[in-house]
Amino acid sequence: MSRHEQQFECERCVDAAVYVLGALPDADRYREHLATCASCQAEVAKLQPVVDTLPATVPAAVASEALRERILATVRSEAELLRAAGHEADQPPRAQGRWRSSRGTLVRASVAIAAGAAVATAIVLSVGSSTGERVSTGSVAASVPGARATLRQLGAHADLVVAGMPQPPPGRIYEVWLRRASGPPQPTDALFGVTSRGSGSATVPSSLHGVSEVLVTSEPLGGSSQPTSAPVIRVPLRT
């Protein structure tokens, strides 16, 4: 088996990019799949820091729901095209005739379009005006000296931005939780890693109405339904 085939031995690896962008329709099923698939775990671990870094490099902002849906629809459709193309979509075409070479060119173009759509999604959803933005400062565990966490809210949209955080250990990732009143923390689909310099961000995927605290814990790749470690970040909110 070639190195390329080993890297993409699972057909669901093509969903990893859409998953880390938060645009995968069956995210819950993919999270269950991640728990047992080393290939997809590796692909998510490779892509997540890239996606997390983009919002941290520009002012936070909110795109309209209509615009968000149009861009995410494009990402989803390109993911379907990649899935249909199969694992060898990004390999150079073999010398097997004019038709096969043309088909390989079209497939590689599809890969480029999907990559462009992914980058466009991350940038468009992150750039814009920050007028009316509400900023809450989080407290970081004493075991992570020098780290900082900020929750930026604009309307119903919220981004958690961190700096100076250590990278999660191999096989683990940071997960965002929401606590309402005095109840237990509730999981979200917001999973993120950090760069080698400790910067990263995650979009909180649900309304913060009634939320008293946003928390972050270190969890296995794919996330958990219940915290398996103590919170490393706590962001109290005024309700």
Answer yes or no: are the C-beta atoms of 219 and 229 closer than 8 Å: yes
- Torsion of Cα atoms, 195 then 211 then 138 then 22, to 10°: 10
Can you give the pLDDT at residue 109? Answer: 37
Can you give the pLDDT at residue 177? Answer: 96
Q: Which residue has the higher pLDDT, 124 or 207?
A: 207
Q: Is 30 buried (19+), middle (13-18) or exposed (0-12) by CB count in 10 A?
A: buried
Q: Looking at residues 179-204, what average pLDDT do you find?
A: 89
Answer yes or no: are the C-beta atoms of 180 and 210 closer than 8 Å: yes
Q: What letter would DSSP give residue 166?
A: P
Can you give the pLDDT at residue 32? Answer: 87
Can you give the pLDDT at residue 156? Answer: 82
Q: Looking at residues 144-150, what average pLDDT do you find?
A: 91
Can you give the pLDDT at residue 107? Answer: 39
Can you give the pLDDT at residue 15? Answer: 85
Whether the pLDDT of residue 178 is over 70: the answer is yes
The values of phi and psi at residue 58, to 5°, are -135, 160
Can you give the pLDDT at residue 50? Answer: 74
- Total-model pTM: 0.51
Whether the pLDDT of residue 21 is over 90: the answer is no
Whether the pLDDT of residue 63 is over 80: the answer is no
* Candidates 2.40.50, 3.30.70, 2.60.40, 3.30.300; CATH matching 134-236: 2.60.40
Residue found by looking up tokens 């005024």 in the block: 238
pLDDT, mean over the chain: 74
Can you give the pLDDT at residue 118? Answer: 47
Whether the pLDDT of residue 132 is over 50: the answer is yes
